[in-house]
Structure 1
Amino acid sequence: MKGKKAVFYISLAFSLFLISLGVFIPKQVEKFSTTSLSFIYNNLGWFILGSVFVFFAFCMYVGLSKFGHIRLGEDSDRPEYKTATWVGMLFSASIGISLVFWGVAEPVSYYIDPPFGKGSSEESAKLAMQFVYLHWGVSAWACYALVGVSLAFFQYRKKLPASLSSVFYPLVGDKIRGKFGKTIDIIVILSIVIGIATSLGFGTLQVNSGVNVLWGLPVNFSVQIFIVLAVTLIYVGSTVSGLQGAMKHLSNLNMLLAFALLGLILFLGPTQSIFKIFFQGVGDYAQNFIGMSFRTEPYNDGSWIASWTLFYFGWWIAWAPLVGSFVARISKGRTIKEFMMGAVFIPVVGSFFWFAVMGGSAIHLIQIDGATELANAVSTDVTSALFKFFEYFPMSAFLSILAMVLVLVFFITSANSAVFVLGMISENGNPNPKTRTKIIWGAVIAGISIVLIVTGGLQGLQSALVAAAVPLSVMMLVMCYSTYKGLNNELILMKSSEREGKEHVIDLEAQQTRKEA
């Protein structure tokens, strides 16, 4: 595993191998990953739940403790992006496309089939928002923030390569530049490639459903492949143009479109109910956070927890290397306290309000207005749920078009950030990877997305990605200790520098006094 390009070539070979498996033996891949996933849920679900809570506790500790004032960079550095743009990029690069996909479908699914109790009832409506907030709340963003703050600290403060292996420097020293570091980087690259490919596959299916509802275009492989190829050309082009340009403008566009869609549904929908749902959901979530975070259902089969909570927590862990690496890239100059408060809590409030507007309105339509057809649509096909939901509002065609544009822009920015991060890691932490490298990874992601769609292997590799959450959890737990050790050493250095500075000032004053005498 020698050479500067070893990480790139080995991870590329593994990615192409995955494409080959998806082409030639898709059923076996799906069966293996599903079996692995079932084993993990039955035997290691408690470990995933416990790990995510540790990540959240660690983020709060470093943000609010003595480490909080340490700046991610030199003491003279200041944030590269304005806070509004920074938050927009956080959303765009991480869960934006998933919010659009699940905004209506997930709350309605929980309303129909709650974790416990009777479905389609007042109690299940409350539980629906409560568990949606658990799955999209601080637990998810703590996974991203842990990787982000660790990498940003070692990259900008300690001047190590922009690679996840750098985080382990306090434990292994210069081995991060050898086989150990390269192995870590290859694992991270593979998790990013599979994760972004499966998400783009879901995005493609939703866009295909949208154009089917609006213009009658068929839901088939040809349309889906065309969507993937068209979007690939756009996101590769925007990535090549550079982070400062394309990503900044696309992220700002994302936020404007999202606010426009939210504002319209808030105005046209049950406005008072939406605000009540939002505050009720936040209160229920805060009150039951500990219990829900550790809920394993040991006295029954635990199928609901396995299908939803464990799946989501595993999904966030698997996405953490990608989102955390990108968040680190855009967070230079912020203090750790500012980073944690912004990266953990601000996006959570936005996510909660999104689900209150979309999912809350959908539940209101079903429970109060009797829109049982919407519930049936969610049960039948989650990819079309959003567009069926818009049919209950004025200007439904305009809302559907706006939502599709939002999905596409989120689609582009998610892939954009993934290609950029893949380029950085595969070039040994180069913060400005070569155009050729980014184009190759863009093509690989498109190829895997197409293979997954055509072979029907989306669910299989999605399961494989969540199965990867177990080794990634172990790596992130070690990362907590390594980051703590690095921050502690940094405080010692800072205090030592302060003492030396004070002693130097005292010496100068003494010299001046002697001269005057």
Structure 2
Amino acid sequence: MGKGKNKYFDVHGPVFWPASILIVIFIVVTLIVGEPMEKVFDNIQNGISDYAGWFLVLATNSFLIFCIVIGFSKYGKIKIGGDDCQPEFSTGAWFAMLFSAGMGIGIIFWGVAEPMFHYTQPPIEQGSQSELAEQAMSFSFLHWGLHAWGIYALVGLALAFFAFSRKLPLTIRSVFYPMLKDKIYGPIGDVIDVIAVIATLFGLATSLGFGVQQVSSGMNYLFDIPDTVVTQVILIGVITLIATGSVVLGIDKGVKFLSELNIRIGAVFLIFIIVVGPTLFILDSYMENLGHYFQKFFFLSTWTEAYQPTDSAGWQNSWTVFYWAWWISWSPFVGMFIARVSKGRTVREFIMGVLIVPSLLTFLWMTAFGGTGIWVEMANPGIISESVMDNVSTSLFVLLEQFPLAEIASAVGVILVINFFVTSSDSGSLVIDSITAGGKLDAPVGQRIFWAVSEGTVAAVLLIGGGLGALQTAAITTGLPFTFVLILMMVSLLKGLKKEYAKSIQMDKETDIKKYSERIEKLINKRKKYIRNRKNLNQKTTKP
């Protein structure tokens, strides 16, 4: 029931239609209202941040702690998909795909800009330039490090476990089977999946919006094309068309190929800035930044501006709270994508792989680009910061201007952003497609195209309706309700792992008993054979 199937669409109606209608209503209202929507977006963002910021901080810390505890617990040995299941992709390809999906556009957009913002507008006043720089890098690491990947690890592990170990459909509703049983196939499950679709779409649209702003700035720098909303909307259309082609090719020929290409181009880009930039400074500061981040980890993770003066408070709303909501809203997409490529890995391998390697790579990127930006700024105050404050999307290109081969490097930067744009869009389309098709992994191509176009349309509408503020509001508004889904997800996953572990223990006991019985039987047979041989020998020796 509720499923309509033809050559181009194979949808689960109770999820597909409500999600599609709500998205269309949002697009129409935003376009009709026009410019005043910017004020509406601002009010929504401020209201949620002011009253629920503490909750998002608490929840995000809980997700990370839960993942680490599970990874090092007795459940860490459980293999996703069963003991005989082998990984579908190599470790290198696995890291490439999860990193491309998990950060992608965002880290290129904010890699220079965020540390510069925190350096010039510090959340907590410091006494010297070096202290300001350390704090700027620590907060940047906080926002892009273990907490972000902890959210992704939770959702990815839950989806992978219930899809591959319990053989349930690859949708968010399946995660709640231990709590809801067969009710996941009814209205409650439909509501969960609708929330997941909308959260994913708006989380993706936020990233795509950031990406296209940076592509537009790069085009302006390289070819003097006007950096306007019209240009950005046109670029969204062109890049979405490319992404649609990748979606049609599927995960092996499209997403995997582009993800690995992204990593190669990104590695060359990273090595380039390390070599032509202040090499020793980057290497030294990477170690120091890591040390300062872990030294201040618990303080940074729980800081909520409670004792800041009222007139200076509000920094966290625009940064930490926004990021936690953004990662949460993006987590169905990233989590499901990571789940799809992680079959055959143990729980411990999954969590450690998702948490550690991408975080360290992200920290190196932030140090190389953001740290170098601060290094330039310390020597020439205003040279980077003024451009960042004027137009945040130009920050990467302004930094590259300070070093040799600036135009070539900027062109590579634009190509990298476009590639990440395409990867995020097509990966997201495959994920949303799976949710709205009732968990199918290979729904019709027409359906994938529909969602690829929808993502681009929402990103364009958000840019028209309020630019950066609208993008941030979209992430926060959808991230907050989905936080409650993730909290329940922790409970459900723990129930599922407990049952799986108990089952494996029982199987081990049965195997041990069987082996013991076989050994006893062998000994008995050996004894019988020995007695027979002795008897035959005695008979032979007693014959006259």
Is the 8 Å Cα contact of residues 144 and 320 (structure 1) preserved in structure 2? yes
| Structure 2 CA distance for aligned equivalents of residues 296 and 71 of structure 1 | 38
Q: Which amino acid aligns with 2:425?
A: A
Question: Structure 1 residues 305 and 119, CA, compared in 2 at 3 Å: closer, same or farther?
Answer: farther
**How far off is 1:18 after superposition?**
1.4
What displacement does 1:172 show? 0.6
Cα shift at 1:276:
1.7
Alignment partner of 1:51 is 2:62: no
Give 1:247's aligned amino acid.
Answer: V
TM-score, scaled relative to structure 1: 0.96
Q: Describe the SS at the equivalent of 1:104.
A: helix
1:324-379 CA distance string (max 9 Å, x none): 111111111100100011101100000000011101111111102x1522221011
Unmatched segments (≥5 aa) in structure 2:
4-11, 529-544
> Is residue 2:328 matched to residue 1:320?
no
In 2, are the aligned partners of 1:135 and 1:312 still within 8 Å (CA)?
Answer: yes
Identify if the C-alpha distance between structure 1 residues 371 and 263 changes in structure 2 by more than 3 Å, giving closer, same or farther.
Answer: farther
- CA deviation vs aligned residue, 1:397-445 (integer Å, no higher than 9, x gap): 0000010000010010011110000111000111222211101111111
Match of 2:398 in 1: 388
Q: Could you say what the CA RMSD is over the residues aligned between the two structures, in angstroms?
A: 1.7
Q: Secondary structure at the match of 1:241?
A: helix
- Aligned partner of 1:413 in structure 2 is 423
Aligned position for 2:347 = 336
Distance 2:202 2:34 in 1: 15
Question: Match of 2:291?
Answer: 283
Aligned to 1:136: 144
Q: CA offsets per residue over residues 118-169 of structure 1, 9 Å max, x none?
A: 5982221111111111111101100000000011000000001100111111
Amino acid at match of 1:185: D
State whether residues 30 and 461 of structure 1, in contact with CA within 8 Å, keep that contact through their aligned partners in structure 2.
no
What is the aligned counterpart of 1:493 among 503, 521, 536? 503
Deviation at 1:196, TM superposition (A): 1.1
- Pick which of 469-478 and 450-459 moved more: 450-459
Per the alignment, residue 369 of structure 2 pairs with 358
One-letter amino acid matched to 1:428 = G
Q: Deviations over 1:217-275 (max 9, x none)?
A: 11224432331122111111111111011111111111111111111111111111111
For residue 250 of structure 1, what is the aligned residue in structure 2?
258
Which range moved further: 234-243 or 343-352?
234-243
**1:304: Cα distance to partner?**
1.4
| 2:24 aligned with 1:16 | yes
1:298 maps to which of 293, 296, 306: 306
The residue type equivalent to 2:83 in the other structure is: D
| Amino acid across the alignment from 1:96 | G
Q: Which residue of 2 aligns with 1:349?
A: 360
For the residues of structure 2 that align with 1:385 and 1:12, how far apart are their CA atoms?
Answer: 36
- Cα offset, 1:514, TM superposition: 5.3
CA distance in 2, matches of 1:152, 1:121: 46
Partner Cα separation in structure 2 for residue 455 and residue 480 of structure 1: 36
Render the CA deviation track for 1:2-26: whole Å, top value 9, x for unaligned: 4433211221111111111221124
Contact 2:114–2:140 (8 Å) recurs in 1: yes
| SS state at 1:78 partner | coil
C-alpha distance in 2 between matches for 1:259 and 1:98:
16
Cα displacement string for residues 100-133 of structure 1 (whole angstroms, at most 9, x for unaligned residues)? 1011111111110111115982221111111111
Tell me, yes or no, if the aligned pair for 2:199 and 2:479 is still in contact at 8 Å. no
Distance 1:436 1:18 in 2: 23
CA drift of 1:513 comes to 5.1
Larger Rg: 2
8 Å CA contact retained: 2:38, 2:465: no
Secondary structure in structure 2 of the residue aligned to 1:103 = helix
Matches within 5 A, 1:328-477: 328-368=339-379, 370=380, 372-456=382-466, 458-477=468-487
| Aligned counterparts, 1:225-264, within 5 A | 225-264=233-272
Q: Which residue of 2 aligns with 1:102?
A: 110
TM-score (norm 2): 0.92
| Per-residue deviation, 1:469 | 2.4
For residues 482-505 of structure 1, give each alpha carbon's deviation from its aligned partner in whole angstroms, at most 9, with x where no partner exists.
101110011111111112222233
Corresponding residue for residue 92 of structure 2: 84
Tell me what 1:196 maps to.
Answer: 204
Picking from 12, 30, 45, the partner of 1:37 is 45
**TM-fit CA distance, 1:41:** 2.2
* Secondary structure in 2 matching 1:71: coil
Distance 2:522 2:293 in 1: 63
Look up the equivalent residue of 2:456 and give its one-letter code.
Answer: A
Cα distance in structure 2, aligned partners of 1:198 and 1:53: 23
Whether the aligned pair in 2 keeps the contact of 1:113 and 1:119 (CA below 8 Å) is: no
CA separation in 2, counterparts of 1:294 and 1:456?
Answer: 31
Contact in 2 for aligned 1:221/1:454 (Cα 8 Å): yes
Q: Is the 8 A contact 2:433 2:448 kept in 1?
A: yes
Q: Distance in 1 between matches of 2:506 and 2:49?
A: 48
**In 2: Cα distance, 1:223 partner to 1:305 partner:** 31
Selected match of 1:480 from 474, 486, 490: 490
Q: Is the Cα contact below 8 Å between 2:41 and 2:470 reproduced in 1?
A: yes
Per the TM alignment, residue 282 of structure 1 is displaced from its structure 2 partner at its CA by 0.7
Q: Aligned to 2:77, what secondary structure does the other structure show?
A: coil
Per-residue deviation at 1:90? 1.1
- How many angstroms apart in 2 are the aligned matches of 1:416 and 1:94? 13
User: Which of 268, 282, 291 in structure 1 is aligned with 2:276?
Assistant: 268
Inter-partner Cα distance in structure 2 for 1:390 and 1:262 = 12
Aligned to 2:79, the other structure's residue is in SS state coil
Q: Which residue of 1 aligns with 2:535?
A: none
Structure 2 residue matching 1:79: 3-state secondary structure? coil
Q: Does 1:5 align with 2:13?
A: yes
- Counterpart residue number, 1:69: 77
Q: Please give the alpha-carbon distance, in whole angstroms, between the structure 1 residues aligned to 2:135 and 2:468.
A: 29
Equivalent pair of 1:36/1:464 in contact (CA under 8 Å): no
3-state SS of paired residue (2:81): coil
Q: Look up the SS of the partner of 2:383 in the other structure.
A: helix
Q: Which residue of 2 aligns with 1:126?
A: 134
Taking structure 1 as reference, are residues 355 and 244 closer, same or farther at Cα in structure 2, changes over 3 Å only? same
Give percent identity, aligned residues only.
Answer: 36
